[in-house]
Structure 1
Amino acid sequence: MRAWILSAVIFVIGDATVLAEAPKPVPNEVAAEAKAEAEAKAEAKSVEDAPEEKSGSKSKPVETKHSVTINGQPVSYTVKAGKMPIKDAEGKSTAEIFYMAYTKDGVGDKASRPVTFSFNGGPGASSVWMHLGLLGPRRVKLEDDGSAPPPPYQLEDNEHSLLDETDLVFIDPVGTGYSRATKPEEAKKFHGVQEDARSVGEFIRLYVTQNLRWPSPKFLIGESYGTTRAAALSTELMNRHRMNLNGIMLVSTVLDFQTIAAGGNNDLAHVLFLPSFTAAAWHHGRLDAGLQKLPLVDVLAESEKFAAGDYQLALFQGTSVAPEFRAKVVTEMARLTGLKADYVEAANLRPTLARFSVELLRDKHLQIGRFDGRYTGFVQDRLTETYERDPSADAIFPVFAATFNQYVREELKVEEDEPYEVLARLGLWNWNAENEYLNVADELAGTMMRNPYLKVHVSAGYSDLATPYFAAVHTLNHLKIAPELRKNLVVDYYAAGHMMFLNKADLIKQKADLAEFIRGAVEVPAK
């Protein structure tokens, strides 16, 4: 599988050993007195050296009380923030996973109150993105279209939080946020598809057990690689812990990596990216007048039909494609992408994301975002054939980092001096996919077949150029489940991109969609 790997440097500090001189023999009574004195000193020393039970420490997570207004109704809640030790079979701690759990106050029957476990992707992303962007009761303050204001940045109450529908537990996988392996040199034991699912699954088991939430309806919500994690977790929780879920919410989905990584003779990704190229071109006014005046959904319907039809056929035929048909496809591609026909031809009908990102607005010396094609940023090299960075990341990453670091200490009272890794460099990741593409869609399908009550919701952003919405549709259409279970799949679409909730209109719609999904997933089906 093609992957872009960022390497991490781990600093290992060796243990120092101090040798003491052996004591000389003394008479019995003197020895007894010396022993008592030594024991007293040792006890005093142990008390002096004992770590304080302070906010955010592994011994005692901190609890704080808050309130927020959601949909016009006041909601009081408690936040517990701290680290959960993950232990091996011998009971030795191998890692600590940092989490922030939000529970609504005044709920008498926990069995009727859903609990949702949230994480983002990467691999290497902390949970901050959906925490302070979509789900939590506090949210980064952005412009309505999701663009960032000038610094300094602020938080505001999130009146569209999902806390009125479900308790929320935000999980930072090992290596992200404040979560760390006990021995830094063994961090790699957590850095892989199955390794990651095992540690996160163990955290969920511990949280559910310690907080008496086994009877509660349980949900997962993951974004980007977090959707990959959610699919793997569905199997891990079922097989290892016999834990069935009520629902899984996938935000910007990638389960089958061949749908997003073109290469060699794999042309599928080119087909599935095309409608997202159309969405980006429409947002920037680069389509012809006839298309530009239509609503985005109508333009995308036309793009999807072409991508799955003539475009896919032309790619399939390769060098045997008839010149007349190829010319027709080139013309239509130019019309639906905003690229010039000669550029499409020179790209052999296969403009990559990197090239499309800088070619679409080349005359303005701008590149468009990968996470969200609506964002733009200047290029330094005006002749570049690949994006120099991601303008959508540049716009929002500093906002989330600044606001979270203030929020976690000021409002959640977590006193932690080590850096909170909003997006960590984890080094090599074990994809369990040698000479093939990672595909966890079969794991999700298997879980759905074994638990026919499991519902799955997919949030898809039209402007997402990292995990295109058409790729998610393709994966769901090929999910190996019984026809009777397809009713358990729900897909909702949004105008923005990877983090569609940054766009205020999409945030409002997504809250309503997810709330409806959760309520439907906990209803007792009629017999």
Structure 2
Amino acid sequence: MSRWSLKRLGGVLFAIALVNGASVPALCQMAAPTGMVTPSASTWPRVTQMAGVRSGYYSALRRGVFGGRRIRYRAELAELLVNDRTGKPAASMFVTSFIAKAKPSATEHRPVVFLFNGGPGGASNTLMFGAVGPERLQRFDSAALADPEIALVPNEETILDSADLVFIDAPETGFGRTLPGSNPETFRSVDGDSFAFTQVVLRWLTDYGRLSSPVFLAGESYGSIRAVMLTRDLSMATPRVEVTGILLVSQALTYNGPESFAIKHLPDPLRAINRLSDIAALSWYHGLIDNQSQTLEEAVWAAQTFALSDYAPALIAGNRLPEADRARVAARLAGLTGLPIDVWIAGDLRLDNVRRQLLSSRNLALAQFDGRDTETLAGVPNDEDRDFQAAERGLTAATERFVAETFPATGLPDYRTIVSDPYGFEKTWAYVKPPAPGADAVLREQMAAHPRLRLLVTQGIFDTTCPMGETDYLFSQLGTGQGRTFFVRYVGGHMLYSDDTGRRTFLDDMRAFVSGQTVRARGFPTAIPGTRSTTPAGDSRVSKGS
């Protein structure tokens, strides 16, 4: 392919980007698909049976100041039994609710937010004590997460002034356990997991007389997949629930299992194209490129512009790319990222492992979830070999302390923030199999079928697990109606609320979203460059279950 044809193709791609605004907020305003929409269904039966109530129920009256208002509320911990596809109780699931005291006439229209984390195999306490609950960890860095003595403090920024909060721990996490005689793998699938959660949501809404309340689902990481599938299954359940809004935190909608499960293919140019803006952001933060006279936004925009105008056609050309053009593209990649030209040439204009390659000259690797954090490269373990229980020891201890002091509850098993072997657990998980649609396609179906369904997508710009560029691209392909989809970036990693500023901004946006308001466009966030922390190799303190 000639240089002229490459430039012409790049110009076409770049022109398309400019027409659409080259940003997710603009692209998400594309017209929704026309015509009647018949959403796809779960491979499991429609839910017609709610979760059963077990004897484990605890409650306490509390008060606090949230969103500037003094609120009296009830904290509750309840154990529910979820049924397998035959209608037989198969597992217990625990639900922690925070319900503001309000007049009965106001309660009916008060929003309810159901929240859960990911993994799969993670409980909901990361969101609860990291950002959204009425109490939170005093700090939420990796050292705090591992510190059994870390304190809980009042969380005055939470949205309990605007909505009731219901945290659901997935089967086999938290205090929940598989029932005797049941197969532990019963709910270890995308659709089986949603089947269990649907029963719990229906039971809660029915028991509290809230079937007519605005219902919001907030899922983090794998929980974003769960939120989409749960929206689908609630709309087909008996009783039927039409979700008002979905909040995707560090979304992972296109994830469909570990790479070892996937068919091996040649390298995907799209993946590298989407990742370039993330590499530029991380390079800016760690000082590989100019971060004094050039802002973070300028560095990212330069990478996005080059990705569409020159990088994309070069990768698509593959071995048809003339050597002179290859050298020119590699030189520009070096300028945008600070990595030497020969690194890009050796990798065929790609990085195989950004976390290990970006700072290798400093003998550092990027942390598993937040690219601002680093660890010593020498001897760095594979992620599946890390000590996840130690990484979450502080969060787990704080959760158990909160339960014991709030209710108090006795006779409960140890709390599982994350299952003991998350990577082994995931190998037993059944992801979507063809011809069933993935979560991204199901979300598009649901947005088209339910014109009032709203969507808030939140993204940490230094997320090394669910990167910014892939989220940008994914939601540029989603067609929605005007004003229904909001996309906000934060200075953060996978847990985008780990910094005080990020947490406050995230909760402000969440409050606006559940209140039916327009989420304010904030522009690209600003950041202060510099390494936050370096830990010895293998000292991972953040769990996959986030």
**TM-score (normalised: structure 1):** 0.80
Asked whether the 8 Å contact 1:372–1:392 carries over to 2, the reply is no
More displaced 10-residue stretch of structure 1: 389-398 or 514-523: 389-398
Contact 1:460 1:469 in 2 (8 A): yes
Q: Extract unaligned runs of 5+ from structure 1.
A: 1-56
Shift of 1:133: 0.8
| 2:249 aligned partner | 251
Q: Which amino acid aligns with 1:295?
A: T
Once the two structures are TM-superposed, the CA of residue 297 in structure 1 deviates from its matched residue by 1.9
| Paired letter, 2:218 | I
* Distance change (3 Å), C-alpha of 1:438 and 1:318: farther
CA distance in 2, matches of 1:370, 1:331: 28
Q: Is the 8 A contact 1:357 1:368 kept in 2?
A: yes
Match of 1:512 in 2: 508
Does 2:64 align with 1:68?
yes
Asked if structure 2 preserves the Cα contact closer than 8 Å seen for 1:118 and 1:170, the reply is: yes
**In 2: Cα distance, 1:417 partner to 1:340 partner:** 55
1:365 matched to which residue of 2?
A: 363
1:188 matched to 2:190: no
Q: Decide whether aligned partners of structure 1 residues 348 and 248 sit closer, same or farther in structure 2, where only a CA change above 3 A counts.
A: same
Which residue of 99, 104, 107 maps to 1:103? Answer: 99
Question: How far 1:259 sits from its partner (Å)?
Answer: 13
Do structure 1's residue 117 and structure 2's residue 114 form an aligned pair? yes
Deviation at 1:88, TM superposition (A): 5.0
C-alpha separation in 1, matches of 2:296 and 2:220:
24
1:281: which partner in 2?
283
Residue 346 of structure 2 is matched in structure 1 by 346
Give the 3-state SS of the residue equivalent to 2:183 in structure 1: helix
| 8 A Cα contact 2:60 2:76, kept in partner | yes
Name the CA shift for 1:298/1:201 in 2 (closer, same or farther; >3 Å): same
Change (3 A) 1:113 1:250: same
Give the C-alpha shift of residue 96 in structure 1: 1.2
* Partner of residue 27, structure 1: none
CA contact (8 A) 1:369 1:390 kept: no
Report the Cα offset of residue 174 of structure 1. Answer: 0.8
Return the index of the structure with the highest Cα Rg. Answer: 1
What is the aligned partner in structure 2 of residue 464 from structure 1? 463
The one-letter amino acid paired with 1:284 is H
Moved more, 260-269 or 363-372: 260-269
Deviates more, 1:256-265 or 1:169-178: 256-265
Change (3 A) 1:239 1:391: same
Partner SS, residue 274 of structure 2 = helix
Q: Which residue of 1 aligns with 2:334?
A: 334
Instruction: Count residues in correspondence.
Output: 455
CA 1:356–1:395: 2 relative to 1, 3 Å: farther
C-alpha root-mean-square deviation of aligned residues, in Å? 2.9
Matched, 1:177 2:174: yes
Shift of 1:412: 3.8
Q: Distance in 2 between matches of 1:445 and 1:150?
A: 39
1:67-216 alignment, distance < 5 Å: 67-87=63-83, 92-108=88-104, 109-142=106-139, 148=144, 151=147, 152-183=149-180, 186-216=183-213
Residues 1:257 and 1:389: Cα distance change in structure 2 (over 3 Å): closer
CA shift for structure 1 position 452: 0.5
Deviations 1:219-257 (A, max 9, x none): 000001111111111111112232101110000112223
Q: Deviations over 1:49-99 (max 9, x none)?
A: xxxxxxxx9314100122222233222211110211123577642221111
Counterparts of 1:78 and 1:326, CA distance in 2 = 63
Q: Structure 2 matches for 1:34-53, cutoff 5 A?
A: none
Confirm or deny: 8 A CA contact 1:367 1:387 kept in the other structure: no
Give the aligned partner of residue 315 of structure 2.
315
> For 1:505 and 1:522, how far apart are their aligned partners in 2?
20
Relative to structure 1, is the Cα distance of residues 148 and 309 closer, same or farther in structure 2, using a 3 angstrom cutoff? farther
For 1:292 and 1:263, the matched residues in 2 are separated by: 40
Q: Secondary structure of the equivalent of 1:94?
A: strand
Distance 2:272 2:257 in 1: 9
CA distance in 2, matches of 1:81, 1:156: 20
CA distance 1:421–1:222, shift in 2 (3 Å): same
Asked if 1:401 is matched to 2:396, the reply is yes
1:377 and 1:392 map into 2 onto residues whose CA distance is 15
- State the match for 1:414 in structure 2: 409
Decide which structure has greater helix share.
1
Aligned-partner residue type, residue 114 of structure 1: P
Identity of paired residues, percent? 27
One-letter code of the match for 2:242? N
In 2, the alpha carbon distance for the partners of 1:304 and 1:136 equals 36
Which residue identity lines up with residue 508 of structure 2 in the other structure?
A
Q: What TM-score comes out, normalization by structure 2 length?
A: 0.77
Instruction: Output the CA distance in 2 between the equivalents of 1:267 and 1:311.
Output: 9
Q: For 1:130-173, what per-residue CA distance to the aligned partner results, in whole angstroms no more than 9, with x for missing partners?
A: 11111101111117x78649843111111111211110100011
Structure 2 CA distance for aligned equivalents of residues 263 and 492 of structure 1: 33
In structure 1, what is the Cα distance between the partners aligned to 2:408 and 2:265? 48
Describe the shift of the 1:131–1:185 C-alpha distance in structure 2 as closer, same or farther (beyond 3 A). Answer: same
